Amino acid sequence: MTLPSRRVRRIPLNAAAVVTVVVCLFPVYWMVSTAFKPSRDIQSAEPRLVPYTWTLDHFRRAVQADGFELFWRNSILVTLGAVLLSLVVALGASFAVARLRWRGRRQFMLLVFVAQMAPWESPIIPVYIISRDTDMLDRLPTLTLVYFMITLPFTIVVLRGFLATIPPELEEAAQVDGCTRTGAFVKVALPLLAPGLMATSLFGFITAWNEFAYANFLIIKQQDNRTLPVWLSSFQNTFGTDWGATMAASTLFALPALVIFLLLQRHVTSGFAAGAVKG
């Protein structure tokens, strides 16, 4: 097999790769480029793939829109709160599942799997009623708790998977050296678990950052407590015909997720690779 013919044979493959990349990126690109285009170019009959002139007007308009900063902050607070809470709770639970032997372990995992699959949009009315009766309506901690619940099951499952890739012998060795069981876990396993924790928090972050239905229904009177997805979905009302501003706000909304994902991507793959190697 000669070199040129191999190159020719790779053409369809590379073409497919290009198509994949374009299809994946085009909506993201279109969002960002619309956000930077002047309105006159956005509403022209001749669409431009690359903005002719660049403008920050739309971003200015989005940021200056009523409460944008506030909603951004709310979203961040709620999301981080939920992710941290579920990480801590899940760490304990997954330690128990992966490292300890106890009666009901299998049943517990079954519960977790069921919880992970539960259609958590359906009990929205009961959740509304319960929060009302406990005076938790209109408050961000309520959303934090709901998102905690949404992210907890898969956090447990994922963390347990990571934990299982760390050989218990390492901890046992540390215990022989005089560490306590917990001490051994904190000193030896936890650092090894860091990529796993990051990967897990990533998924939690995306889920909570995105959540719409509860945020839309549980925050009623205190509109200052709304979160970004709810605000974004009512965008056409806020910005009217200004699709540039809509796209600018979408960009700003997507930004944290994109950044965190790209930053942590390495850890996701490395954590995964570690797991695969040790399998």
56 or 259: whose CB is closer to another protein?
Answer: 259
Q: What residue type is 131 in one-letter code?
A: S
Residue from 63, 84, 170, 192 in contact with another protein (CB under 8 A): 84
Residue from 138, 170, 187, 267 in contact with another protein (CB under 8 A): 138
Closest CA to 177 of 166, 167, 187: 187
63 or 254: whose CB is closer to another protein?
Answer: 254
Per CB under 8 A, 8 contacts another protein? no
**CB atoms near residue 3 (< 10 Å):** 7
Per CB under 8 A, 156 contacts another protein? yes
Per CB under 8 A, 275 contacts another protein? yes
- Distance, in Å, from the CA atom of 81 to the CA atom of 75, rounded to the nearest integer, reads 10
Compute the least distance from the CB of residue 2 to another protein, in Å.
18
Burial class (CB in 10 A: 0-12, 13-18, 19+), 244: buried
Residues whose CB is less than 8 angstroms from the CB of residue 207 and which lie 6 or more positions away in sequence, other chains included:
147, 150, 151
Per CB under 8 A, 170 contacts another protein? no
55 or 210: whose CB is closer to another protein?
Answer: 210
Per CB under 8 A, 166 contacts another protein? no
64 or 236: whose CB is closer to another protein?
Answer: 236
- Assign residue 94 a region (left: φ > 0; alpha: ψ between -120 and 50; beta: otherwise): alpha
- Distance, in Å, from the CA atom of 250 to the CA atom of 255, rounded to the nearest integer, reads 8
Residue from 36, 68, 72, 158 in contact with another protein (CB under 8 A): 158
**Site residues (CB under 8 A) for another protein, limited to 185-224:** 186, 196, 199, 203, 206, 209-210, 212-213, 217, 220-224
Closest CA to 76 of 138, 143, 152: 143
Residue from 7, 8, 25, 270 in contact with another protein (CB under 8 A): 25
